[in-house]
A and B are shown apart, each in its own frame.
Chain A
């Protein structure tokens, strides 16, 4: 193999598995160290800079970082990254001094944001400090989008959302709430330099089976029903509730139903339990609230009498996979009837753009979705940009934020007349952590502790009041111990070939046997020839130049490196060094490498 080019920022970025997996590439180990150091405000700002809604995400994120966490590959469970983020938010204190200020004179240009969800708010946050005049439109009375209408208050208290939405709105955003934009054409006619569409995926999928219309009064679409509850148009549900669907919306629906008078609430899914789309922890939380999950039930008909819903009839199925791995649901012939006073349908959501005229030079493609550039988020009408669920269909908050940052870069470049396709490079620093002969400026010792569970409020109390937050969050002492579980994967093992005397000290000390000195070969050959076979192709091999004495190369399998620094402590010549790698996605308006800290 050729020597690894560690000057390519993406090489070490990939080693920081959590940050790499995060759509917004939040520097996770960086803020976890700040939490351990009780510097909560700074930990919050590292987050805020990257993901705009640390308090919200610390409670509700889909956490793509945690399955990626290296700790999960050597220990039972990954670091509780998401809940540590909440610790930073809960303990941040007054961060107003650290917040950016929008200039009074706005002369960069005018931007309209349609929809006030996480994507639009991120665009606003990035552009307002640069001097753009921003108009924000939403048909709801308050900003937040699906964060407000879909996430139940027992998971996300409104104060937390209000504060973080407020940080953005306080940047001098012109707010137009309860204002439904019925025509994009009309907006285009106004003198906006650019328009951003962040209207989400607002239409819940329906289930057209017999009885749907007749019993319609007690059959609800999940996302609409949650919104009605959130805006307090609705405060009761029947005693027996069936929730159809296995995603996170279904989990929010069933748990909300338990708090509105639903005593016998069941989740019913078509396929296997293992194929449910909901996050495992959300399923766990639902089950902890006495909500059973019935799998392999395909709904056939709503049963009703005199316009009154009686229940739902299901066909039981077996899940069969054919030779190509395609799933088929084969009816067993058995039918089941489940009684219900209310049914909530939470089987997915779709995009809908009835308000966008089709003659604006904005092309639509497959599934009637607008054609959007996946890098610049620009539509075929160069003045119109998309982001969040509106761009490529339903995802999650952190993805919407990531879209917002990129769209803001594009809008800024577009208005300044620069090439939108020319993207700014990330900001990268790589600094040695050596403090003394065997001392490092990070806690290199690896904590052997198991993941700490987040304490929950008493169940009876939680079920009595919809507004009681279920999770209590880590206290500072537990947060410290959980933070110490982080392996500091951003403190990189940097190998300097000409300093190596081939003493094997690093090979002998490495607890996970990831360091090797072997004759070079191609990648497949090398992967099989190491002390421990490198059989995770997604994890790179770090290969040095040929060594002076034997002509061998150093090959390090990044897969389960603990970043404990023992290789560097054992190295007599400093050929190994532990260097902190900070990778920051460049935001709008910052063309050169500029750190926030």
Chain B
């Protein structure tokens, strides 16, 4: 087994605006099973951060427990990282975010970590509109414990042993829309053309951005009869192609037709989207939920940016917290003196 990636790169490897190459965004060599969809998602995260010119040390990557939650070791080795308790990543992310609002928060979780043990944490993170990107690497099974069906496993899907799943699946994208997430997308690890711009848009979004990324488990859930295999998911996905235009780039074309729409992000960048369906209003919760259900009833899975609320208030706005990270506050600001104490006391009389 090779644990070291050769240090040589393509001699013409491009550099981004920071003067860094893609290599500067890589991490350690993955120890996941060969062919795991999670590795493709890690590569897409590397591409997205490289292309967005994000400095790795301005990123905090957080995860829980599971195959998915191991992956932060395999990208952005120059970033802050916290591998937390099973299902508790949203709490740690909330604490970190409140302490230092200047970092980019990237949570990586799996279907077990999110939809089973961490369901409550996940729902409250979304409900509070915590400013973070939350990626669910969704393979429909517990790969780390020999592939038992997870809560996202579709009804009727056959596991490796041959048993058919009878329980209803948890749809984390639909749940996120229901409980108040302000950016919800779905994608596929095998479709980087859609996944990379979607991650870029999510990272540029201000508020809770949930990405449900179907990521086949090659070892336990990539056989005939599985609804989350490479082959099956490719056959049922309905793709809404996506293009992300960064702030500084000139916008060369404009679309106004029923199926193409442009969404201006909070930071000025632009998401250009080709919808499958002109009735789908991606800025309307009900419409987004209807679009998901509509395709589901036809045995299809809609992928792309499903829902966005561009101008929401994130947790810091709601709480009215300090504008600067806590670690940059000095004694003077933290202990403003008895004059301020007196005025507070006076206000309580």
Contact = CB atoms under 8 A, between A and B. Distances in A.
A572 B10 contact: no
B2 A73 contact: no
Interface stretch (A309-317, A458-466, A501-509): A501-509
Which of A508, A564, A572 has the largest number of chain B CB atoms within 10 A?
A: A508
Interface stretch (B29-37, B118-126, B252-260): B29-37
B7 A505 contact: no
B11 interface: yes
Contacts of A512: 8-10
Interface residues of A, number: 37
A3 interface: no
Interface in A394-445: 437-439, 444-445
Interface string A443-461: 0111010000000000000
Interface stretch (B39-47, B53-61, B202-210): B39-47
B5 interface: yes
A194 interface: no
Interface in A524-558: 532-533, 535, 549-550
A572 B13 contact: no
A550 B190 CA distance: 11
Contact of B34 (A445, A562, A570): A570
B4 interface: yes
B197 to A, nearest CB: 16
Given A445-B2, A505-B36, A569-B34, A513 B10 contact: yes
Contacts of B43: 504, 507-508
Contacts of A562: 6, 8
Nearest to A513: B10
Contacts of A446: 6-8
Contacts of A504: 40, 43, 189-190, 192
Contacts of A73: 11
Nearest to A446: B6
A317 B2 CA distance: 58
A502 B190 CA distance: 7
A560 interface: yes
A487 to B, nearest CB: 9
A566 interface: yes
A444 to B, nearest CB: 7
Contacts of B13: 513, 532
B12 interface: yes
B174 to A, nearest CB: 27
B234 A549 contact: yes
A550 B234 contact: yes
A438 B190 CA distance: 23
B230 interface: yes
A503 B12 contact: no
A74 interface: yes
A571 B5 CA distance: 15
Given A503-B190, A512-B9, A532-B10, A573 B42 contact: no
A569 B6 contact: no
B292 interface: no
A569 B10 contact: no
A503 B40 contact: yes
Contacts of A439: 1
B222 interface: yes
Nearest to B230: A501
A234 to B, nearest CB: 49
A32 B112 CA distance: 50
B99 interface: no
Contact of B231 (A501, A513, A514, A565): A501
A507 B230 CA distance: 16
B107 interface: no
A504 B11 CA distance: 22
Nearest to B233: A549
A572 B35 contact: yes
A572 B11 contact: no
A513 B47 CA distance: 12
Contacts of A213: none
B216 interface: yes
A505 B74 CA distance: 13
A73 B9 CA distance: 10
A75 interface: yes
A511 interface: yes
B218 interface: yes
A587 B331 CA distance: 86
Contacts of B34: 505, 569-572
Contacts of A438: 1-2
B34 to A, nearest CB: 5
A440 to B, nearest CB: 9
